Structures are given as C-alpha cells and as structure tokens.
C-alpha cells in the first residue's frame, strides 16, 4: 500500500510491447562472471603503484602536481567565501552546477555551458570521452609516452593502440610521420596529453597545427588531456586544442595546475551534442560530482581566486625545478633529461646498472622514496621525478636519492 492505494508490480514493457528481460543477456554474463566470461582487467600499473604506496613512504616523488592546498587556504583566497555549513549534502546537478559549468566554459572561447560536463576527476572525463569515441575494430593513435589510462582502457576492450612517439633525442618532439601512418591504418582518434605526462613537454604551435591538419584529412577526433595547462615554468599558458577543429574533446581537472586533487573535480569540453552523450554515460559511473566539491570548485575558478592558484603553482614549479636541475647536473653524468615546459614532473634517463622497476622497489623499500618507474610508460632506464613537494622535503628526498644511486652503482 502506498498512500492508501494498492500497487501491483508488473514487468517493464518496452514501447514496442515486446517482453523485456529484467537483465539483458549481455549483462547476465557480467553479473555471473566465470573464468571464461568475466570482464577483462589489465591493471593500470602506475595508478596501482601510487595508490598502494604513496601514503606509505616518507617522500613521495611520484606525484605530478604541487603540494595541495587545504580547504581553509582555498577559502582564504576568496573575497566572499561561501558558507560551507549551509551546503545541503544531497545530489547536486549531475553534469555540474550551472555556476561551475559557466566558469569552465569561460576558459574556452566560444564554449557555452552546454559544451561542458563536470566529472569526478579528469580520469572520469577521459573515461566517458573514450567510451564515446571508441569504435569496435577501429584503432586509436596514442602519443607515447603518455598517461596510460586511455591506452589501458583500449587494451582492456581488446582494441588496437597504434603509437606515435615523442622522440627523446629530439627534445620529445612528436613523430608526425608515425601519426600519419597510424591514421592511414584506420585510427579514428588521436590521443594527446598536452603538456605531456610524463615528460612535461608542451607541443609547439606548428606541431599542434600539423596534428589538427592530419586529423581533418582523415576525419579523426582529437582527445586532448590538458590537465597540466596553467603549470608552465615560463608563465606562458599552453594553447588548447579547443577551437582548432570541430572534432575535439578537451579534458582537464583541478588536480594539477590548481593543486586541488582532493576535490576530485574534472571536466570535458566539446560540441554540445557530444557532451550530452558523455553526460549520459556518467549515469553509469558516478552520477554526479560531490556537492561540496562543486561549491569549492566554483570558488577555485572564480575571477579572483583562479589567478592566485595558478601563480602559486607556477612559483612552486619554477623554484623547485631549479633545485632538481642543480641536483641532477651535480650528479656527475648520472642523468640525461629534457627540462619540462610545464607540470611538476621530469622524465629523466639514469645511467646505472638496474632496471626501472627494480630501482623503484629499492627506493621504496630501502630509502622511503616513491618514484614512477619508466617501465610504467614503456621506457626503461628512466624514472619520472615529481618535484612538487615543499622545498625542504624535496631537498631531503634528493639527498636520500643520491645515496641510493651511490649504493646501486657500487653494488
């Protein structure tokens, strides 16, 4: 009985009138997995490594952002901070509040509120964009090295990833001949991270133009992860792929340049009809951004606070990279590296007789330092060093790292 009326349950019938199985066959297999039918999982090595150990070491040099703010520090930057005590902890607007989407849209010339989907972190933005763009039997052309989420998702769905490499011996410039070949072999999406993770290298304007030209010629989409935009060492903002072609989805978040990873707020920007489809996919994932995070994200992207956050990040990366650079240059030829353009990360080749996975384990277990081994990006004898901790911690970590390398080379 509901409100005095008797309600009789009946099976759902689709509009056509045909009987509806309450659980479609394609889902029955997932609900009752067997060794033959369970969903494939290739682990995301880097994220598993960080998730397991980043809070269990003294010095975390695996992080690619700068030391995060507290909620109090963020609110102190606002001229009129919100009353968080009055925020009702219900479901918020599931694609992001109107205020937050409007502020994000303002960062992309020509975008409207309908061009923006707010997500739970940039990782969800990448997930739903990938989900929309993937086509059975069609490959993606992936910039390598890269943040390996989307290539990993492609492998987990038995799709083909065709790499186009950043050339280490040419300052991590993109191999555009490889990209053209990948598109000629049928790749339908070009995956870029700009500025790049793990190298910190930003594409030059002519390189971006060439990528767009190739995408247009082959009818391909560009999926551009721009999470390090705003964390440049030279204070010059990295241009976005937004507005350069109609077939582009840009993703970003508050985690890196804004130093607010704990808010878990990201976004995707694209054509409104595409964003509508991405939004529908979040009904299957997180449903809606956290209400408190939405409010704090609106503070972070307000006109008075956003410039202060980016100035703080740029100050940290500029100061700390000088420390890292001086340390590496003083290590008597141990490291070969390209200075990053943006982000608190440097991909460094080391000259020592140990593989990167073994080295990372030695550093973690014996020296209390977490780094990302190059093997997680498909590169050996390399490590990604994060230089975003407070200066004192960075200096202590580097001193310990030097001791570790001395011991490894002597062994």
Residue 109 has pLDDT above 70, yes or no: yes
Structure confidence at residue 410 (pLDDT): 74
pLDDT in tens, 218-265: 999 999 999 999 999 999 999 999 999 999 999 999 999 999 999 999
DSSP of 66-79, one letter per residue?
A: PPPPPHHHHHHT-S
Is residue 289 within 8 A of residue 282, CB to CB? The reply is no
Give mean pLDDT, residues 145-151: 97
CB neighbour list of residue 395: distance below 8 Å, 6 or more residues apart: 323
Structure confidence at residue 36 (pLDDT): 54
pLDDT in tens, 153-172: 999 999 999 999 999 999 99
Structure confidence at residue 309 (pLDDT): 98
Strands 248-253 and 221-225: parallel
Structure confidence at residue 39 (pLDDT): 81
Structure confidence at residue 278 (pLDDT): 98
276-302 burial code (b ≥16 CB/10 A, e <16): eebbebbeeebebbbbebbbbbbbbbb
Structure confidence at residue 409 (pLDDT): 80
**What is the C-alpha to C-alpha distance for residues 148 and 137, in angstroms, rounded to an integer?**
20
**What is the C-alpha to C-alpha distance for residues 393 and 395, in angstroms, rounded to an integer?**
5
Residue owning tokens 């992080």: 63
> How far lies 372's CA from each of 42, 51, 213, in Å?
18, 12, 34
Structure confidence at residue 411 (pLDDT): 73
3-state helix vs strand vs coil in the chain, percent to 5:
40, 15, 45
Q: Which domains does the chain have, with CATH numbers?
A: 45-69+307-410 (3.90.1150.10), 84-303 (3.40.640.10)
Structure confidence at residue 8 (pLDDT): 38
- DSSP class of 232: B
Structure confidence at residue 19 (pLDDT): 38
pLDDT in tens, 368-380: 999 999 999 999 9
Closest residue by Cα to residue 115 from 243, 227, 228: 243
Residue 178 has pLDDT above 80, yes or no: yes
Structure confidence at residue 21 (pLDDT): 42
Residue 4 has pLDDT above 90, yes or no: no
**What is the C-alpha to C-alpha distance for residues 176 and 170, in angstroms, rounded to an integer?**
13
Residue 355 has pLDDT above 90, yes or no: yes
pTM attached to this predicted model:
0.90
- DSSP class of 204: P
Give mean pLDDT, residues 267-272: 98
**What is the C-alpha to C-alpha distance for residues 330 and 317, in angstroms, rounded to an integer?**
19
pLDDT in tens, 27-62: 444 444 444 557 889 999 999 999 999 999 999 999
């Amino acid at each position: 009985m509901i409100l005095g009326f008797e309600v009789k349950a009946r099976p759902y019938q689709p509009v056509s009138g045909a009987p509806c199985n309450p659980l479609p066959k394609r889902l029955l297999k997932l609900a009752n997995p067997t060794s033959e039918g369970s969903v494939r999982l290739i682990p995301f090595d880097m994220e598993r490594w960080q998730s397991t150990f980043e809070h269990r070491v003294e010095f975390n040099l695996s992080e690619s952002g700068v030391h995060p703010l507290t909620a109090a520090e963020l609110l102190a930057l606002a001229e009129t901070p919100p009353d968080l005590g009055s925020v009702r902890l219900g479901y918020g607007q599931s694609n992001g509040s109107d205020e937050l989407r409007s502020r994000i849209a303002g960062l992309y010339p020509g975008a409207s509120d309908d061009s923006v989907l707010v997500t739970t972190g940039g990782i969800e933005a990448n997930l739903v964009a990938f989900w929309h763009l993937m086509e059975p039997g069609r490959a993606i052309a992936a910039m390598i090295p890269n943040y390996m989420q989307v290539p990993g998702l492609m492998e987990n769905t038995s799709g083909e990833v065709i790499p186009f490499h950043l050339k280490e011996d040419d300052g991590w410039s993109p191999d555009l001949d490889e990209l053209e070949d990948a598109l000629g072999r049928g790749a339908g999406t070009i995956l870029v991270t700009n500025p790049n993770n793990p190298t910190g290298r930003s594409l030059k304007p002519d390189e971006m133009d060439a990528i767009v030209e190739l995408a247009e010629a082959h009818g391909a989409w560009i999926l551009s992860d721009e999470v390090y935009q705003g964390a440049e060492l030279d204070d010059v903002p990295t241009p976005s792929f937004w507005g350069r072609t109609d077939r582009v989805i840009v993703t970003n978040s508050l985690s890196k340049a804004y130093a607010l990873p704990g808010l878990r707020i990201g976004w995707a920007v694209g054509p409104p009809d595409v964003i509508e489809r991405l939004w529908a996919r979040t009904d299957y994932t997180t449903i809606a951004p956290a209400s408190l995070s939405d409010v704090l994200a609106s503070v972070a992207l307000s006109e008075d606070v956003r410039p202060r956050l980016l100035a703080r990040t740029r100050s940290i990366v500029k100061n700390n990279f000088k420390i890292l650079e001086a340390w590496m240059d003083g290590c008597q030829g141990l490291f070969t590296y390209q200075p990053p353009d943006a982000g608190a990360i440097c991909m460094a080749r080391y000259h020592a007789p140990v593989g990167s996975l073994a080295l990372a384990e030695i550093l973690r277990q014996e020296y209390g330092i977490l780094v990302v081994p190059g093997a997680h990006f498909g590169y050996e004898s390399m490590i990604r060093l994060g230089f975003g901790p407070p200066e004192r911690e960075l200096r202590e970590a580097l001193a310990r790292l030097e001791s570790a390398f001395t011991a490894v080379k002597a062994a």
